[in-house]
Amino acid sequence: MRFTELEPGARFEWEGALYVKLGPVSAREEATGRLRMIPRYARLRPVKDNSAARPDSLPTSLPVDALRAAFDAFFAECLAALDGPPAAGRARLEAARRRFLTVLGLEPS
């Protein structure tokens, strides 16, 4: 099955991991919560039990101003993380990622 054939909220397996389709080109890996862009040519295996997908909890839209503010905060944190030691920078980037995804509604607060 192709990615474009799945509805948002549908669960599928690709490259040995389970995902939930979020939008036309994006999916969230169930195990890690990481977002991935899924190529249109990707061959997927749909998962029959879609109960864990909870399509009603997927974000539908976010005001542009809120999205821009969240991204600007994330970007500022990325720039600040470049100034310190690599290990500390990595921790700051991971925390910034979690905050950004929380604003988007893609990670629990």
For each of the chain's 109 residues, which pLDDT tens digit applies?
898 898 888 899 999 999 998 888 888 888 888 888 998 888 999 998 655 444 445 455 667 777 788 888 888 888 888 887 888 888 888 888 888 887 777 776 5
**Count of CB atoms within 10 A of residue 74's CB?**
17
The domain spans of the chain are: 3-48, 64-104
Decide if 58 contacts 23 (C-beta within 8 A).
Answer: no
Is this structure's pTM higher than 0.75? no
Compute the distance between CA of residue 20 and CA of residue 53 in angstroms, rounded to an integer: 6
Instruction: Name the residue among 99, 107, 95 with its Cα closest to residue 59.
Output: 107
